[in-house]
Amino acid sequence: MSAQLSARSDASTSQQRRWLAFAVLLVGAFLPPLDFFIVNVALPSIRGSLHTSAAELQLVISGYAAAYAVFLITGGRLGDLFGRRRVFLLGLSGFGATSLMCGLAPSPQVLIIGRVLQGLSAAAMAPQGLASIHALFPLHERSRALGIYGATIGLAAVVAQALGGALIAANILDLAWRVIFLVNLPIVAVVLAGGLPLLPDARADSPAPIDRIGVLLCACTLGFLIAPLVEGRERGWPWWACAMLVAAPLVGMHFWRHEQAYARQGGVPLVSVDLMRVRGLRAGLASVLCFYVVSAFFLVFSVYLQSALGIDALATGLVFLPFGLGFFIGPLTTPWATRMFGRWVTAIGMWLEVAGCVLLAALVWHTPARMPDLSAVTVAVGLLGFGQGWALPTLVRSVIDRAPPGESGMISGVTNSALQVSASLGVAVIGGVFFSVAGPSPSPAAMAEALGAAMLCIAASLAGAAVLSIVASQR
């Protein structure tokens, strides 16, 4: 009897340590989306303070997302190679330092550089929590852990919109928008001071060296694609922007050929060639690429609310609150939804988002010069958030569960990278559509027309993602 009690006590202690370690690692899931979402409500304030152009505003967002996307795969591989505890702590420390750089930025250029470096730090930090789910939890606890992981991202969305607006409105120490970056510093300090003993030093069983050429080619491919999409429209599509767009698919093809050759030579490529042959995985990743363009919604809707309707940052943050609440509640209800709807949950979540996009477009077109009916806006924004909350964790799990445990770091990096590439391209392309339709000196009616066009573009991409998710689940 005493032996059984002792075994139960040890199991309970082990379970508690697993969840405490996971709670620390969830900071890596919380901070990157917090800084993605929180900056959206500050864009008009940044524009007025630093006199940024529309393209520079897009780069404040897409520069972060692109750097995050490019190096997420590498971040996952670094965790496999050097230990997830060490890489997580290095990424967290870098995130704190670059947050300070952004908060003190004297010019748009310094702010953009700081955001790119912040994205690099987030790329080292974020994959470690997702990859550690396989190492920390037995199979029967992973669904719950993934649900909490998704809810954490939703909580970041809730906190970011309201907190960003409140901090800017409070104008603490006359810092205005700068405080949205400086608020990261106490979070980083607490985790570094109190979380170190809790983190396990998990890593892959047989880690291989980093594919440096693959990292470089992947970075060049995404850089050649995203930079001209953001800068080209504002600069009148100069020759270098067109040349980069032409070069992007060529460099991408060279990247993939290098990965195949590197694998044949016995190396471990940045993206596993064999892993890409897993049935349904490519359709799932294609769905991820179409899915996260919804991130452009925060840019265009925030600019519309503050620039066209004259709403302040605090009120703007409150308008976004239904999205965050839906995004927080959605992942907590996915176990029930999965029992009810099975493999259709992901697609249903995306169709809810499509409905929210179409409803919001109709509302702003109906009342272009004033705030639409607030209850209807709440429904539209809430549908976007709740649908995101259903679709995101189930889509991520459907991709990650296809990987063998030894490659969990790689596939988590690939999945997160695909999400951030989608976010970055969404900001670049759909943000470009918005600013092009609005024109150089837009009236409220022109901005309403631009917002409606952007929301329909997002809806079309989400509909494509829903179809691809069904194809992936059938395979």
Distance between CA atoms of 265 and 195, rounded to whole angstroms? 40
Arithmetic mean of pLDDT, 220-236: 78
Higher pLDDT, 450 or 40: 450
Q: What tokens appear for 418 in the block?
A: 């695909």
Which two structure tokens, joined as six digits, stand for 43? 């864009």
> Considering the chain, what percentage of its residues have pLDDT values greater than 90?
19
Would you place residue 356 in the very low, low, confident or very high pLDDT band (cuts 50, 70, 90)? very high
pLDDT given at position 5: 47
Overall residue count recorded for the chain in this entry: 475
Provide CB contacts within 8 A for 467, sequence distance 6+: 347
Highest mean pLDDT among 134-138, 155-159, 198-202, 419-423: 419-423
For the stretch 361-391, pLDDT in tens is: 999 998 877 888 888 999 999 999 899 888 8
pLDDT in tens, 460-469: 999 999 999 8
Whole-angstrom Cα distance, residue 119 to residue 126?
10
pLDDT level of residue 200 (50, 70, 90 thresholds): low
Report the C-alpha gap between 42 and 5 in whole angstroms.
55
Q: How far is CA 420 from the centre of its chain?
A: 5
What integer is the mean pLDDT of 418-447? 83
Q: Which of 244-248, 279-283, 337-341 is predicted with the least confidence, judged by mean pLDDT?
A: 279-283
Dist. CA 460–CA 457, nearest whole Å? 5
* Residue 204 confidence (pLDDT) above 60: no
Quote the Cα angle for 454-320-419, to 5°: 60
Confidence bin at 254 (pLDDT 50/70/90): very high
- Of residues 352 and 84, the one with the higher pLDDT is 352
- Among residues 254, 255, 274, which one has the least CA distance to residue 264? 274
Tell me, what's the pLDDT at 49?
Answer: 86
432 backbone dihedrals φ, ψ, rounded to 5°: -65, -40
Instruction: Please tell me the predicted confidence (pLDDT) of residue 311.
Output: 85
Q: What is the average pLDDT value for the chain, to the nearest integer?
A: 81
Dihedral of CA 288/294/296/298: which sign? Answer: negative
- Give the residue from 193, 68, 200 showing the smallest Cα distance to 129: 200
The whole-angstrom distance between residue 293's C-alpha and the CA centroid of its chain comes to: 10
Top-confidence residue, 130 or 359: 359
Place of tokens 């509640």: 329
Structure tokens at 448: 């309403």
Query: Worst-scoring range by mean pLDDT, 103-117, 206-220, 316-330, 454-468?
Result: 206-220
Pick from 36-45, 155-164, 200-209: least confident: 200-209
List Cβ<8 Å contacts ≥24 apart for 269-277.
Answer: 269/211, 269/214, 270/73, 270/74, 270/77, 270/210, 270/211, 270/214, 270/215, 270/218, 271/73, 271/214, 271/218, 271/410, 271/414, 272/407, 272/410, 275/403, 275/407, 275/410, 275/411, 275/414
Instruction: Map the chain to HEC letters.
Output: CHHHHHHHHHHHHHHHHHHHHHHHHHHHHHHHHHHHHHCHHHHHHHHHHHCCCHHHHHHHHHHHHHHHHHHHHHHHHHHHHHCHHHHHHHHHHHHHHHHHHHHCCCCHHHHHHHHHHHHHHHHHHHHHHHHHHHHHCCHHHHHHHHHHHHHHHHHHHHHHHHHHHHHHHHCHHHCHHHHHHHCHHHHHHHHHHHCHHHCCCCCCCCCCCCCHHHHHHHHHHHHHHHHHHHHHHHCCCCHHHHHHHHHHHHHHHHHHHHHHHHHHCCCCCCCCCCHHHCCCHHHHHHHHHHHHHHHHHHHHHHHHHHHHCCCCHHHHHHHHHHHHHHHHHHHHHHHHHHHHHHHHHHHHHHHHHHHHHHHHHHHHHHCCCCCCCHHHHHHHHHHHHHHHHHHHHHHHHHHHCCCCHHHHHHHHHHHHHHHHHHHHHHHHHHHHHHHHHHCCCCCHHHHHHHHHHHHHHHHHHHHHHHHHHHHHHHC
Main-chain dihedrals φ then ψ at residue 368, nearest 5 degrees: -70, -25
Residue with tokens 């810092």: 175
- Between 31-35, 118-122, 182-186, the lowest mean confidence (pLDDT) is in 31-35
CA distances from 134 to 84, 203, 303, 404, 408 (A): 12, 11, 40, 10, 7
Position with higher pLDDT, 65 vs 311: 311
